[in-house]
Chains A and B, each alone.
Chain A
Amino acid sequence: MIILKRGIPVTLAVLTGLVALIGLLFAPPLAELLLNWAGYVAAAALLMGVLNLLGIHAKRSVKGNFYSIILVLSMLAIFGLAITDAIGQTQEGVETLFSLIQVPLEAALASLLAFFLLFASVRMIRNRRNAGTILFLLATLFFLLTQAPWSETLWSWLLPVRAWAESVVVVAGMRGLLLGIALGVTTLAIRLLVGIERPYSS
């Protein structure tokens, strides 16, 4: 039973990973086929996710949670609209609702990012007073002031400094981070390919 429970998933995962790697090197259509299959599995997983969301909030709705009731009703309304779109009773109903509701909401939340970052910075200055915080604050102020609309008239002499900082300091830091991430991904990927890491199995 243990062999079935542990051995089969590991064997399947390792074989699939190695076949995909060999496909990427020598037979790209094979790798593309496997990646397409992964996309189909992800689509099935999305259906599972939607059912999970619906199930959890349906239970909360029964307990009287107002926002869960709204969510469940909205989901059912969108499902109904998608069906009516499919049978031709409505035209682009889902797309219209998406552009009228979802897109503005996402944009509104994105626009709040600046304020959240400001609050986070103020909390950081209040709670963590060290050299790193001071450097963070100075860098933030420097880039904010030199990106402002009036910066060209007020402190144009700072603009070449900003350009240098962006092209040298920022790029160097980003590349260092990304190189480290690439190395971490490489070692993790090799452990996954040979079955050392098994997040899918006990």
Chain B
Amino acid sequence: MGIPELIVIATFFSIFGALALVKRQIQNGQRSSFGLRSLVAYSALRRQIGMAVESGQPPLVTPGRGPLHTAAGPASIAGLHVLQSLARTSRNGQLAPQVTVGSATLLAIAQDSFRRDTDDSTQPQDYRDNVQFIADESFPFAYAAGTADTIERGNVANSIAVGHLGSELALIGEAASRKDMSQIMGSDDPLAIAIAVASTENSLWGEEIFVASAYLHKSAWNLAAVRIQDVLRWLVIVALIGAAIIQLLGQS
């Protein structure tokens, strides 16, 4: 076993141990003042659910085009968290979200998470028709064109695009803007983030999409994960500054 393997194993157990510790503290109420900083997009998400119910039109949700078995998988899972939250809350108003996916590996999970969160009396055919596979991940603009068509034609109240999305996000944003629709956009692609910032004020930047489950479900594990993520971020910052200072002193 070499040093890189040891580092990976040590990192895995350290992070998991820290997660479990913080989760226990949250459950025991020792961190009663633990709070999440406000993210405009997640606050807007709750408002958009209300808007959808009032308008009588469902929201459009797209978790992107990242295949689950690739490096884009985690971003897609973050998008699926948003979908599950919307499906769960929309059930009360019986407004099932319209869903478009850009990867076939997302189709089954989107249908399943949507199905189990809708009212038990919903027929299976209903949820299957609401979830639509548009195009494979190799054809991002075809996927975006299909999603844009759903926005323009599909009588949806608002557009929520969170997941692995690239520059094709601009097409989706343009279609929603033409309908004067409220939007939420988030991606792990820096180019898509820039497009999201220009298109809407409800944008999620990179790591903010990975905390969707904490903001929407607020379980102890998810809140612990947010805290651990913050700690790791500070550790990285300290390491970078320390390395820069050491290099500076070494040069001088």
Which positions in A face B, CB cutoff 8 Å? 21, 25-26, 35, 38-39, 41-42, 45-50, 52-53, 56, 59, 67, 102, 105-106, 109-110, 112-113, 116-117, 119-121, 123-124, 128, 136, 174, 177-181, 183-194, 196-197, 199-200, 202
Q: Which residues of A contact B211 (CB under 8 A)?
A: 184
Residues in A neighbouring B229, C-beta threshold 8 A: 183-184, 187
Shortest C-beta distance, B6 to chain A (Å), equals 9
Chain B positions near chain A (C-beta within 8 angstroms): 1, 5, 8-9, 12, 15-16, 19, 67-69, 74-75, 77-78, 80-81, 84, 101, 103-105, 107-109, 112-113, 116, 128-129, 131-134, 136, 139, 141-142, 144-145, 149, 167-168, 170-171, 173-174, 177, 188, 190, 193, 195, 197-199, 201, 205-207, 209-211, 213, 221, 225, 228-229, 232-233, 236
Are A45 and B104 in contact, CB atoms less than 8 angstroms apart?
yes
A200 touches B109 (CB 8 A): yes
Contact A199 B233 (CB under 8 A): no
Which of A41, A123, A185 lies at the interface centre, i.e. has the most chain B CB atoms within 10 A of its CB?
Answer: A185
Q: What are the residues of chain A within 8 A of B201 when measuring CB–CB?
A: 128
- Write 8 A-B pairs (CB below 8 A) sorted by A numbering: A46-B104, A109-B144, A181-B188, A183-B207, A184-B210, A185-B75, A189-B74, A190-B19
Instruction: Find chain A residues with CB under 8 A from B113 CB.
Output: 199
Q: Closest approach, in angstroms, between the C-beta of B102 and any C-beta of chain A?
A: 10
**A181 to B193 CA separation, bound complex (whole angstroms):** 12
Chain B: CB-nearest residue to A18: B12
Do A53 and B206 have beta carbons less than 8 Å apart? no
Tell me if B74 and A124 are in contact (CB < 8 A): no
Chain B residues, CB < 8 A from A136: 197-198
Q: Is the CB of A120 within 8 A of B67?
A: no
Residues of A within 8 A of B84 (CB): 199
- Can you name 18 extra interface pairs (CB under 8 A) apart from A42-B104, A190-B19, A197-B77? A26-B1, A41-B69, A42-B105, A45-B108, A52-B131, A109-B144, A109-B145, A116-B170, A116-B174, A120-B198, A123-B199, A177-B206, A183-B229, A185-B210, A197-B213, A199-B80, A199-B109, A199-B113
Closest to B11 in A: A186
- Complex CA distance for A184 and B207, rounded to whole angstroms: 5
